[in-house]
Amino acid sequence: MDSAQPSEPTPPFGESDWSALLERELEAPVRVRFSRARHQVVRVQRQRGTYHVSLARFFAAAPPAIRHALATWMRSGRRARKACATLDAWIDESVRALAHEKPASVRLEPRGAHHDLAALAQGVIEHHFAHDEVRAWPPVGWGRKSGSRSRRSVRLGSFDPVNRVVRMHPALDSADVPTWFVRYVLFHELLHSVLDRPERSKGRRVIHGREFVARERAYPDFERALAWEREHVLGLIRAARAGRPFALPQRAAKRAAPHAQAPRASERAVQGLLF
pLDDT digits (tens, 9 = 90+) for 55-76: 999 999 999 999 999 999 999 9
Please tell me whether residues 124 and 242 are part of one structural domain: yes
Give me the pLDDT at residue 207, please.
Answer: 79
Domain final residue pick, 69, 98, 127: 98
pTM of the model: 0.63
With respect to residue 243, please indicate whether it lies within any of the assigned structural domains: yes
Confidence of residue 13 (pLDDT cuts 50, 70, 90): very high
Query: Is the pLDDT at 168 greater than 50, yes or no?
Result: yes
On whether both 184 and 215 belong to a single domain, the answer is yes
Are 169 and 228 contained in the same domain?
Answer: yes
Per the structure, the complete domain to which residue 192 belongs is given by 117-274
Report which secondary-structure segment, H or E, holds 142: strand 140-142
**Within a domain: residue 48?**
yes
Taken in order 255, 260, 266, 268, is the CA torsion positive or negative?
Answer: positive
Q: For residue 5, is it within any domain? A: no
Would you call 166 exposed, middle or buried from its count of C-beta atoms within 10 A (0-12, 13-18, 19+)? buried
Could you tell me if 94 and 121 lie in one domain? Answer: no
Integer Cα distance of 239 and 171 in angstroms: 6
In the chain, count H helices and then E strands.
Answer: 9, 8
CA 54/CA 36 separation, integer angstroms: 10
Same domain, 216 and 133: yes
Residue 49 in this model has a pLDDT that exceeds 70? yes
Mean pLDDT, range 128-150, rounded to an integer: 86
pLDDT band at 164 (very low <50, low <70, confident <90, very high): confident
Instruction: Give the alpha-carbon dihedral of 147, 40, 169, 123, to 10 degrees.
Output: -170
For the chain, first and last CA: distance in Å? 63
202 and 269 within one domain: yes
CATH number reported for the structural domain that contains residue 147 in this entry: 3.30.2010.10
Percent of the chain with pLDDT over 90: 57
CA 138, CA 15: separation in Å to the nearest integer?
35
- pLDDT greater at residue 268 or residue 149: 149
Is 110 inside a domain boundary?
A: no
What distance lies between CA 115 and its chain's CA centroid? 21
pLDDT at 50 over 90: yes
Asked if residue 111 is part of any domain, the answer here is: no
Whether residue 258 sits in one domain with residue 124: yes
Question: Same structural domain for residues 65 and 146?
Answer: no
Contact predicate 26/75, CB 8 Å: yes
Question: Would you call 56 exposed, middle or buried from its count of C-beta atoms within 10 A (0-12, 13-18, 19+)?
Answer: buried
**Residues 115-121: what's their mean pLDDT?**
97
Number of other CB atoms surrounding residue 152 within 10 Å: 7
| Cα–Cα distance for residue pair 18/74, rounded to 1 Å | 13
Statement to judge: residues 220 and 156 lie in one domain: yes
Give residue 117's pLDDT band: very low, low, confident or very high (50, 70, 90): very high
Co-location of 148 and 79 in the same domain: no
- Phi, psi of 150, rounded to the nearest 5 degrees: -70, 135
Tell me: do 231 and 130 sit in the same domain: yes
In a domain, 171, yes or no: yes
Question: Is residue 6 one of the residues assigned to a domain?
Answer: no
Number of structural domains, the chain? 2
Per-residue pLDDT at 251: 46
| Structure confidence at residue 39 (pLDDT) | 66
- Bigger pLDDT: 206 or 207? 207
Residues 34 and 127: their CA atoms lie apart, in Å, by 44
Q: Which of 42, 63, 98 is where one domain is finished?
A: 98
Q: Is 215 inside a domain boundary?
A: yes
pLDDT at 198: 66
- Residues 198, 233, single domain; the answer is yes
